[in-house]
Amino acid sequence: MRSRSARFLIALILGATQAWATRFDMSPDGISYLNLSDYYMEGDYWHAVNGYWSPLYPWLIALQRVGLGVSAHWEAPLVHLTNFVCFLISFATFELLISEILRSLKDNSVERYADSARIFGLAVFLWSALLLIGLGLPTPDQLVAAIAFGIGALLLRCVRRPPSLYAYIALGALAGVGYLAKAVMFPAALIALFTGLLIAVLNRLSPRYVIASTIAFAFVAAPQVAAVSLKLRKLTFAETGRIGYGMTVSGYSYLWAEKTPKNTGIAEHPVTKLSEHPPVFEFVTDWRHTTYPLWDDPSYFQAGMRPHFSARRQAEVTGNILGLYLRLAWKLMLVAIAVAVFCSPRLPFASWPVFLFGSGLLGLYALIYSNSRHLGPWLALTFIALILGFRISSRETGFRRMRILLTCASLALCIPLSREGYRDVAAIARDDGGFSSQSWLVADELSRLGLKRGQRVATVGGAFDAYWARLSGVQISAEISANDAASYWSASPPERALADRALGASGRTFAVAKDVPTAANLSGWLPVGKTGYFVLPLRAAP
């Protein structure tokens, strides 16, 4: 018990430090989740249904916003508080997973290296949660990790004798909750249920176990599947996979609706091109809670997109992702090899359900797209099962080597963790307010110039991370994208005037620019302090 308390205290301190250091950070995904949470706060569940963003995370944000009653200034810290709570839940489910792995070995001799195994488990958890996923971005990935580790633990519970019907029911229900947290957890749930089926077949269990698990999953997931299908007018559980494949493997941009390549489909909700040189695109919506509509609901603007399969491109993408796996997890790969060579592991592979579940998701991500925050829980599940999932030779030499290897591996993982901790402490000492502080300066300047909540604005240079617009309560309804911004700044005066007129159409009152070239002609543009942003008051076109 004392050892568990010490591990919790270490995780609590390191997690709280990172959460506090990044408390004012915001991300494009976080802005969209906050906008969805507005609908939940109003009880408008229909407009909260989204084909791209899942409902559980914004619902949790809305719950905390209602419960704590924070102002807009504290929105970002509140979202980070949500992430931190998910981080602590993730720690608890990972501890449960480690306990189930050690118990599954059914060998009392495991106690000879159990303490080293638990410390190693803590190091793997912190590596996954703080280095790969992190607490700096407002995304549901910490929540997904908590659910993934819980599913891994339940899979091992399902292997136990005598069999537990409640474990199978909990497995299906938790898999359904995972789908509500993130769309990728729908195929993850299918892998988990399939693994449960294999366990039942191998243990010659009654079909009622698998049926109960499937019913529990359907009970939790079906309402969301029905809502998304009704909203998009087709049977689907989410459009995230199709859009992700189109943007990465097929090479389309999230701005596909603006510049639709030939033979990639026909946009059902095309944006309007107001100017040719430089290109000005307009996407006016009547959505009550939106900042940048193109990213607040990609399933709406990407409707009609037809992903294109290319074997060469698929091989290139998959090769790059496999290389990412190697770069992220090479230390754990070496540990797994060392255990196999020096510690004489013996069959059976008791943690095979956890390995199958984790590696199945790694295989899925290898087909489309992934970055470290997506991979954190799946790499942790795969390698913790591979390293701790075998019985060790009963000779004392094998136990001693296992303790040494796990201790060395823990220390190796602690090196990057200590560097990250130092950066977090330095950020707290610096306390510059982070990204949202800069966004508040832009929002305050626009308010001083007369911008009112509910108005529409335009951007030059991209609106992907325009948290200032969320804080101002305005909708970005036109843009010159980051790829086209250079053509605006280099345009002739007549072309610039036409572009400005297009930016000011449909009642837009201001244009906001960032990443402006140093040699740009800023006639009419006003600097926003030292933020690097510039504001152009617009005269709306008649």
DSSP calls for 142-197:
HHHHHHHHHHHHHHHHHHSSS--HHHHHHHHHHHHHHHHH-TTHHHHHHHHHHHHH
Look at the block and give the residue holding tokens 């605006």: 488
Residue 276: CB atoms within 10 Å? 11
- Cβ(48)–Cβ(39) under 8 Å? yes
The whole-angstrom separation of Cα 480 and Cα 450 is 23
Q: Which of 509, 512, 484, 488 is nearest to 498 (CA)?
A: 488
Q: What is the pLDDT along the chain (542 residues), one digit of tens a residue?
A: 568 899 999 999 999 999 999 998 999 999 999 999 999 999 999 999 999 999 999 999 999 999 988 888 889 999 999 999 999 999 999 999 999 999 988 776 788 888 999 999 999 999 999 999 999 999 999 999 999 999 999 999 999 888 899 999 999 999 999 999 999 999 999 999 999 999 999 999 999 999 999 999 999 999 999 999 999 999 999 999 999 888 888 877 767 766 677 777 888 888 888 988 899 999 999 999 999 999 999 999 988 888 888 889 999 999 999 999 999 999 999 999 999 988 878 888 989 999 999 999 999 999 988 789 999 999 999 999 999 998 887 677 888 999 999 999 999 999 999 999 999 999 888 876 555 678 888 898 889 888 999 999 999 998 888 999 999 999 999 999 988 899 999 999 899 999 999 999 988 999 999 989 988 888 889 998 888 899 999 865 44
Per-residue tokens: 407: 């201790």
Residues in the chain: 542
The whole-angstrom separation of Cα 44 and Cα 35 is 12
H/E stretch holding 275 reads strand 272-275
Q: Which of 54, 26, 24, 60 is nearest to 41 (CA)?
A: 60
The whole-angstrom separation of Cα 164 and Cα 156 is 11
**pTM of whole model > 0.85?**
yes
DSSP 344-410: -EES--TTHHHHHHHHHHHHHHTTS---HHHHHHHHHHHHHHHHHSSEEPSSHHHHHHHHHHHHHHH
Cis check for the bond before 416: say yes or no (omega within 30 of 0). no
The whole-angstrom separation of Cα 408 and Cα 119 is 11
Tell me, what DSSP letter sits at residue 535? E
Q: Which of 377, 469, 441, 358 is nearest to 31 (CA)?
A: 469
Per-residue tokens: 360: 């199945």
* CA R_g for the chain: 25
DSSP 456-514: EEEEES--TT-HHHHHHT-EEEEEE-TTTHHHHHTS-HHHHHHHHHHHTGGG--EEEE-
